[in-house]
């Protein structure tokens, strides 16, 4: 039975960095990876999808070339095989680089195989049983496939299988009008496919404010994407070569016929085949590993990081999980999950950058709130780029003068949002940012202007 000081299960965003950090502190570390190094982000999430988003943007910009005084001969075409090859190279380079780094790391022993607990200290990987007093779980998640009528009778796609396509769907039906679904919808519309988004709720991305949701819908409809909202009873059936998606909406035809159907209705943690019951590790009703503010499970000596703990569904939160665990174990620095400010982006074009409270949440908080807004049509950089869709909104606590949250839907919104995020971490009053002198011409330079025009919500 090979014995180690620590075992890390999963080579996603948190696991590899923690393994190398622990080894650097003098521990012997086993890192176990079931299949692909890099986890969701590298293999089926951020890196491949944002590579596709970039290709789709290039196609879109080429079609709009005349608007910028650029003359192209003939129609713009998209070679999906080359698009996929570019995506695959980005992914493979990142994955291979990570695996090489881990295998070369002093003090880290890499095991490839499916790890399952046999006790709180023992993990079986193939024919071997590894043991350690410290075990760190970083197993990520996968696409949720609800038990919708007929779903198992058709060849549906998920975010993972979608990335294997090297042909253009004639008509892509995206089931799920939230973050993953909308990114795929826009990119494939820009590649040239007909696209319909089916959403059970009354509007897109229900987590966001209604005006953000409406603005994104208008942007995507302007590119030719169709939407079927309030689809209460979604079902599937084969209709010749097509997939018929039943939508049961208030208006329109009861079915949508598509050549391909993508399910983008949520995620689930990879915790159902780890033998966690043998270790006594507690799960919540959705299957996420229950952890405290320092990412410790209910079992002494076992931690959970990344998507599998339900504390964040992003690469940046998973990496921060590593930082929290390492700080507490090695640096005598009591970092906590509750110190983290919610921040994320939707990578449609234009992107949505989000931090802290939405307007809806701010209203419900009972605070006295100030709000500042500006349409992107009044942002010089957006006008110069010819990308004026969207708006910027910042929310401030009228009493403490601290920023509560912000939404930036517009060109460079995913980058400009960090000026707000950094001030929120500093816990300084908004006037600090209001008096900052930003570079012109940028999107960020309008943030101080907005903060100088605050009004009661």
User: Which residues are designated catalytic?
Assistant: 440
**Token representation of residue 237:** 């059936």
Dist CA 154 CA 141 (whole Å): 23
400 DSSP 8-state letter = T
C-alpha distances (whole Å) from 426 to each of 36, 341, 411 are 37, 11, 26
CA dihedral sign, ordered 387, 390, 159, 204:
negative
Unique residue bearing structure tokens 């005084």: 69
> Among 278, 283, 313, which residue's Cα sits nearest to residue 298?
283
Distance CA 231, CA 202 (A): 8
CA angle 149–152–153, rounded 5-degree value: 90
Eight-class DSSP state of 199 = -
Outline where DSSP puts E strands in 310-424.
Answer: 343-346, 352-356, 369-375, 391-397, 403-409
Hey, which residues does 267 pair with through a beta bridge? 143
Q: Which residues contact 116 (CB under 8 A, 6 or more apart)?
A: 123, 124, 273, 274, 275, 278
- CA-to-CA distance for 369 and 417, rounded, in angstroms? 19
């Amino acid at each position: 039975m090979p014995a180690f000081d620590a075992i890390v299960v999963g080579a996603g965003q948190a696991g590899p960095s923690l393994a190398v950090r622990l080894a650097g502190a003098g521990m012997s570390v086993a890192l176990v990876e079931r299949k692909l190094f890099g986890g969701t982000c590298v293999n089926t999430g951020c890196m491949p999808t944002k590579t596709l988003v970039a290709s789709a943007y290039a196609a879109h910009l080429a079609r709009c070339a005349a608007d910028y005084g650029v003359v192209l001969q003939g129609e713009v075409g998209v070679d999906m095989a080359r698009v996929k090859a570019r995506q695959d190279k980005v992914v493979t380079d990142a994955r291979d680089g990570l695996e090489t780094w881990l295998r070369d790391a002093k003090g880290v022993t890499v095991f490839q195989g499916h790890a399952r607990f046999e006790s709180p200290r023992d993990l079986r990987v193939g024919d071997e049983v590894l043991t350690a007093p410290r075990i760190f779980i970083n197993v990520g998640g996968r696409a949720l496939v609800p038990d919708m009528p007929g779903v198992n009778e058709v060849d549906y796609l998920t975010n993972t299988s979608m990335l294997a396509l090297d042909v253009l769907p004639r008509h892509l039906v995206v089931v799920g009008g939230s973050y993953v679904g909308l990114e795929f919808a826009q990119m494939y519309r820009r590649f040239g496919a007909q696209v319909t988004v089916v959403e059970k709720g009354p509007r897109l991305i229900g987590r966001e404010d209604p005006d953000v949701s409406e603005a994104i819908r208008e942007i995507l409809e302007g590119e030719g994407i169709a939407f079927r909202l309030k689809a209460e009873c979604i079902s599937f059936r084969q209709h010749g070569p097509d997939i018929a998606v039943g939508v049961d909406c208030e208006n329109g035809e009861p079915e949508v016929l598509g050549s391909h159907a993508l399910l983008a209705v949520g995620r689930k943690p990879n915790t159902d085949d780890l033998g966690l019951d043998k270790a006594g590790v507690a799960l919540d009703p959705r299957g996420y590993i229950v952890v405290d503010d320092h990412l410790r499970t209910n079992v002494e000596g076992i931690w959970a990081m990344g998507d599998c703990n339900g504390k964040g569904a992003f690469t940046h939160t998973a990496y921060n999980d590593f930082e929290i665990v390492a700080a507490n174990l090695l640096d005598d620095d009591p970092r906590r999950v509750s110190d983290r400010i919610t921040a994320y982006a939707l990578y449609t074009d234009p992107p949505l950058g989000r931090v802290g409270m939405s307007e809806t949440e701010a209203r419900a908080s009972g605070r006295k709130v100030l709000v500042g807004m500006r349409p992107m049509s009044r942002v010089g950089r957006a006008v110069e780029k010819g990308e004026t869709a969207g708006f910027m909104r910042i929310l401030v606590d009228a009493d403490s003068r601290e920023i509560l949250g912000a939404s930036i839907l517009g060109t460079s919104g995913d980058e400009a949002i960090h000026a707000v995020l950094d001030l929120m971490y500093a816990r300084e009053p908004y006037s600090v940012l209001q008096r900052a002198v930003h570079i012109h011409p940028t999107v960020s330079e309008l943030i101080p202007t907005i903060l100088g025009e605050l009004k009661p919500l």
